[in-house]
Structure 1
């Protein structure tokens, strides 16, 4: 019996089945959401719980939560990637500690405390929540951009110089391209962090699933709290899954 015949009868592992490992997370999330729907349907909901868990309310809260997450992440990309590039340059070593210290403050200060301080300056609303979310999510993207650029092999940079590339061309065509996996990993982390922290936006009237969680706790309506928590976690897992897909699709070939 040949080796090919022996291997033909062996079951393929999940990691080797094309596309199957990417389908596990969406399938699991669909199962969780169906279980939540069935559980809520089996509860004897009162009028307050019923009004809080209508399709219209859940859809509106989902839109608010995702909007906060995406807008904050877009601002983080605009702020953190350029700062990470600046901090990665050897000639900027004097200001690099300052950049990292400011970025670390965003996670060192409790987000709820930062939101309260911003409320005195900006009032309540969407923009106040964005300040807290951006401050909290800048560090992973900034640090990963910095590390990704610094880890590029110096021999590749010298080769690019030998081909006549300018500093800007080397940065765009060599350093940033090779740093893409690290940058995407930082962005994936920032997205998941932002989904969780966005629940605090309810304290400044920014909406999102945080309102369900907080209102459920205040009114002692556990179905409302559980629904808000499960839906928030589901969005976080789904965004993490999308981030994993993006890392595999956008990373340069051969890395």
Structure 2
């Protein structure tokens, strides 16, 4: 009981700092995922048109996922220095694969007869893409964005090691000082942030589902 009370008192005394670091954390993650969307979605669309490049593009994106995040942060320091820029760049690389892959899968799995119907109506390739393919693939694309965001919120804690700030500051400070209150003050808000974003983006993903498919899911449930 005393431990619980002391932790709550600790949080109460540092809530301003925790809030500031949480906002930094959101900023780092938001910028990285934003850039990943701007690059990843067009790349995913491109490899549906040039399928012989899909293995190469997905393979390169997959390489960044396999490199340990701490090592990747260290590798970019000689080129980009420390702070926000290298942190955003590394998180951007980690966010790419789910977005590219889900865009590719979402568009590739559209019923070919739907595309043919669009062509039969005289739609141009651009119109088919923007009015048929992307809207139908949007729930799957949103799933990739959701995965990237949640992964990046956790990975962004490591960014504090190269001076980017965020909730990782509290975690690593707590580890160096053997202070569990500091560790929890960074870890709990990070977990809550990840869960909140997962729920919000999950709701958006569900709302983007075609109505017929949503009804079908409810029927099976």
- Could you tell me the TM-score, scaled by structure 1's length? 0.79
User: Do residues 56 (structure 1) and 19 (structure 2) align?
Assistant: no
Per the alignment, residue 75 of structure 1 pairs with 35
Partner residue, 1:178: 136
Within 2, Cα distance between the matches of 1:40 and 1:188? 35
- Partner of 1:43 in structure 2? 6
What corresponds to 1:245 in structure 2? 203
1:1-255 matches, cutoff 5 A:
42-43=5-6, 54-89=14-49, 92-255=50-213
Kindly indicate whether the alpha-carbon contact (under 8 Å) linking 2:11 and 2:185 is maintained by their aligned counterparts in 1. no
Residue 42 of structure 1 deviates from its aligned partner by: 1.6
| 8 Å contact kept, 2:10–2:181 | no
How far has the Cα of 1:143 moved from its partner? Answer: 0.3
- Give structure 2 stretches of 5+ with no counterpart: 214-221
Secondary structure in 2 matching 1:94:
helix
Runs of 4+ in 1 over 6 A off after TM superposition: 38-41
Contact kept? 1:212, 1:224, Cα under 8 Å: yes
Q: 1:97 to 1:42 in 2, by over 3 A?
A: same
Whole-Å separation in 2 of the counterparts to 1:144 and 1:219: 42
Deviates more, 1:230-239 or 1:108-117: 108-117
Cα 1:212–1:161 change in 2 (3 A) is same
C-alpha displacement at 1:102, in angstroms? 1.2
CA spacing shift, 1:40–1:235, aligned 2, 3 Å: farther
Q: For the aligned residues, what is the CA RMSD?
A: 2.1
The structure whose Rg is larger is 1
Cα shift readout 1:84-103 (whole Å, capped 9, x = no counterpart)? 001112xx123222211111
Counterpart-to-counterpart distance in 2, 1:84 and 1:56? 41
Distance change (3 Å), C-alpha of 1:95 and 1:245? same
Give the superposition deviation at 1:244: 1.2
Measure the CA separation in 2 of the matches of 1:80 and 1:44: 42
Which structure carries more helix by proportion? 2
Aligned-residue offset at 1:249: 2.2
Distance change in 2, residues 1:239/1:93 (3 Å)? same
